[in-house]
Amino acid sequence: MGNSSHQKGKMHSKKPLGIQLFECVQGSPISFRSCQALVLVLTFLSYASYHATRKTTSIVKSVLDPKTNLGILHWPSHLYLQKLKGAENNTTLSSGWAPFNAEDGTALLGQIDLAFLGVYAIGMFFAGHLGDRVDLRILLTIGMIGTGLFTAAFGAGYWFNIHSFYYFLGMQMMAGLFQSSGWPSVVAVVGNWFGKSKRGLIMGIWNAHTSVGNISGSLIAAAMLKYGWCWSFALPGMMIALVGLTVFLFLPVGPDVIGIQEDLHLKDSEKTDMDTPLLEQRSETKDKAVGFIEAWRIPGVAPFALCLFFCKLVAYTFLYWLPFYISHTAIGGQYLSDTSAGVLSTLFDVGGVVGGILAGHISDHLDARALTAASFTFSAIPALYFYRVYGSVSLAWNIALMFVTGMLVNGPYALITTAVSADLGTHSSLNGNSRALATVTAIIDGTGSIGAAVGPLLTGYISSRSWGAVFTMLMASALVAGLLLTRLVVAEVAAKMESRRTPATHDASDLPVSSMGEP
């Protein structure tokens, strides 16, 4: 073990310069609690900035392709009246930006989304594999600065008057590649510092970074439109690069980096589950990284990964197309401007924050991750239907239904990508292996990201004919997502019933997994 441990220590033990400077000024080592707070704040800001850059495209879509008023396709009796009203709101931006203002502009925007998310999904698998083997702080920093560079480069097409579809396609593909390093890295870092106690609730609150990033990205991009759509990309790009530099200077990837691996600055009698790192280590296995196929074989990984495929298909369709849908749909008989539609769409993410926290809290209380996730996905089906049918009645109805839909759609998405990934990445079948979390996280979220690529792509084609068909696709996806967890739900319910008869002797986080290990 000595040689491999030394190599691993050499790879991961460099203390961030910012922390070295802080300790020098303070005259004493930084405390464990301070490191936990620092990790939460930095990883929260890090992934929020990732999503802020990711959200920009959906806000700018209606500026690049303002020609098609898709909302009118569903009210033929008022076709010409609504077309006239829509024209009043789009006169200043009616020219759009070539090549996206052509007849196939909507499909081209769908292909841009596919390119970004496709590369992101593929890169996720490699990034997770890499994240268990290299310094996560360096990997995260490179990902953030690269994302900022290529996000700004997309906007630079406005300044340099570029109209080549392949230029914008290439910039989005490169941005997706660099973004793929983000999620496995931040989850693994948080997993190094936090224990199992109330994991669902803590990670549900922490996972609000997704919605906070979407909201801030929407507001920034919408506010910058009046200066030119280029600034809607440039400003978020600069912001994520600055956060990336901060991560490089201050992020401690694990307690061993700070030199508090053993006692964690606490007496043994004072330790609580929250103070114990999520990744309990055993000396004989902790230095061996888990292989990709081995990680897939961990009981429970496959069904949750496939479930996330359909959950993210729904969530990312809203992420990329909701502002466009709102701006092209009459709400209370009137069309909203592109800026107003972008601001209104943030309420979906506000609901997502509530949904993520609620799902985490419920799953902690019930000790049932699969049951909670399935309940949310099935409940999302009627929510999607009501938003489609009644969301155009009035602004108040739209706001209320959008909030509820966001809560039910993002709840299971947040739960699976955080608490469930952490549960499975530290599952008992790994025998204490501490270097599996990034790989397992990448498998689950990478599979989900393939769905995230498929949803917006299909929407780009289907929406030009019928938004009703788009919502049918979303409801069907939510149904399949819930059905994929059926076996795990049955296992959790059976375990609950059994525990009422006999005292529980196993960890609740392994409930769904135990059933998957049996033939």
DSSP secondary structure, 307-373, as one string: HHHHHHHHHHHHHHHHHHHHHTS-BTTBPPPHHHHHHHHHHHHHHHHHHHHHHHHHHHHHT-HHHHH
* Count of alpha carbons within 13 angstroms of residue 346, beta-carbon side: 20
DSSP 266: S
Q: Tell me whether the CATH fold assigned to 15-69+98-258 matches the one assigned to 290-500.
A: yes
CB burial of 349-358 (b: ≥16 within 10 Å; e: otherwise) equals bbbbbbbbbb
Look at the block and give the residue holding tokens 């009981």: 299
Model confidence pTM above 0.95: no
Is residue 215 within a helix (H) or strand (E), and if so which, with residue range? helix 208-224
CB 305 within 8 A of CB 448: yes
Specify the pLDDT at position 128. Answer: 78
**Domain 290-500, classified CATH 1.10.357.10, yes or no:** no
Specify the pLDDT at position 243. Answer: 97
Backbone φ and ψ of 334, nearest 5°: -130, 150
What's the CATH class of domain 15-69+98-258? mainly alpha
pLDDT < 50 positions in the chain = 1-12, 68-93, 262-287, 434, 504-519
Cα–Cα dist 147/49, whole Å: 10
Cβ contacts of 110 within 8 Å, gap of 6 or more: 456, 457, 458, 459, 460, 461
Cα–Cα dist 450/473, whole Å: 16
Residue spans of the domains in the chain: they are 15-69+98-258, 290-500
Specify the pLDDT at position 195. Answer: 64
